[in-house]
Amino acid sequence: MKVSVVKDILSANDQLALQNRQLLDSAGVCVLNLMASPGSGKTSLILRTIDALRGRLRIGVIEGDIASTVDSDRVAAKSVPVVQINTGGQCHLDAPMVQRGLAQLPLTELDVLLIENVGNLICPVDFRLGEDVNVVIASIPEGDDKPYKYPGIFVAVDAVVINKVDLMPYLRFDMTAFRELIAGMNPGVSIFEVSCETGQGIDSWAEWVAKQRSAKLDE
């Protein structure tokens, strides 16, 4: 006998993500899910964003890593609320992990929550966390072919941050082709060229983050 099921396999995660989202909505917190491969500069971008928006928006951070508190220690040094989630081997954050993280944050005292996902361009994109916007960080040393190899993530995000542009003179990276490819795959995506080393481009990125937060309040 054949039994029709037609059930999304990630529905349990999606439901919890929705709960997270409702909790964050009621606290007026705008949430960014930052995804990237290891070493692309996720934590550096978070640190730069905290500095750029200091005194203007209150930022909290969830750090997702397989192990260690290296990242959360760096963020805590900026005196912002931070929670470290160690996934113990799992290659992405999921909604239940974020739910436990949210319980440890003073949500009513936050305007923006930055979630640093586990370094990986593949599965994080399949798991909703309760975020408002999804961002992928690419970096110059990774090469300009990544959207071909990982289309799933590049078509699903609201913004692409291209980090380490200060290395452009030393590496072969066709920025025009890269931007055209992303824009072709994902119309309407916002693209930022930044260097977390020099600070180049951080202001316009931070401005975009602030705009996401005001857009959410206007909803």
Partner 1 sequence: MHELSITQNILNIVVEHAKRAEAQRVRAINLVVGDLTGFVDDSIQFYFDMLSPDTLAEGARLNIQRVPARVCCRSCGEQFSPQDYSWVCPRCSALGGDVLSGREFRVESIEVE
Q: Give the residue, chosen from 104, 185, 191, 208, that forms a contact with partner 1 under the rule CB under 8 A.
A: 185
Residue 180 CB, nearest approach to partner 1 (Å) = 6
User: Is residue 191 a contact residue for partner 1 (CB under 8 A)?
Assistant: no
Binding mask 5-34 for partner 1 (x = CB under 8 A): xxxxxx-xx---------------------
Q: What 3-state class would DSSP assign to 78? A: coil
Nearest Cα neighbor of 161 from 136, 188, 178 is 136
Q: Give the residue, chosen from 125, 136, 196, 210, that forms a contact with partner 1 under the rule CB under 8 A.
A: 125
Residue 68 CB, nearest approach to partner 1 (Å) = 17
Interface with partner 1 (CB under 8 A), residue total 34
Binding mask 165-184 for partner 1 (x = CB under 8 A): ---------------xx-xx
Q: Give the residue, chosen from 76, 80, 107, 122, that forms a contact with partner 1 under the rule CB under 8 A.
A: 122
The stretch among 42-50, 85-93, 107-115, 157-165 that binds partner 1 (CB under 8 A) is: 85-93
Torsion (CA) 206, 130, 33, 186 in degrees, nearest 10: -90
Q: Give the residue, chosen from 28, 106, 151, 199, that forms a contact with partner 1 under the rule CB under 8 A.
A: 151
Q: Using an 8 Å Cβ cutoff, are 116 and 43 in contact?
A: yes
Residue 72 CB, nearest approach to partner 1 (Å) = 22
Q: Which is nearer to partner 1, 14 or 25 (CB)?
A: 14
Give the residue carrying structure tokens 């989630």. Answer: 85
Strands (DSSP E) found in 27-158: 30-36, 59-65, 82-86, 112-116, 133-139
User: Is residue 123 a contact residue for partner 1 (CB under 8 A)?
Assistant: yes
CB within 8 A of 141, min separation 6: which ones? Answer: 164, 167, 171
Q: Using an 8 Å Cβ cutoff, are 99 and 54 in contact?
A: no
CB within 8 A of 25, min separation 6: which ones? Answer: none
CB within 8 A of 175, min separation 6: which ones? Answer: 144, 162, 168, 193
Binding site for partner 1 (CB under 8 A): 1-10, 12-13, 89-92, 94, 122-123, 125-126, 145, 148-149, 151-152, 155, 180-181, 183-187
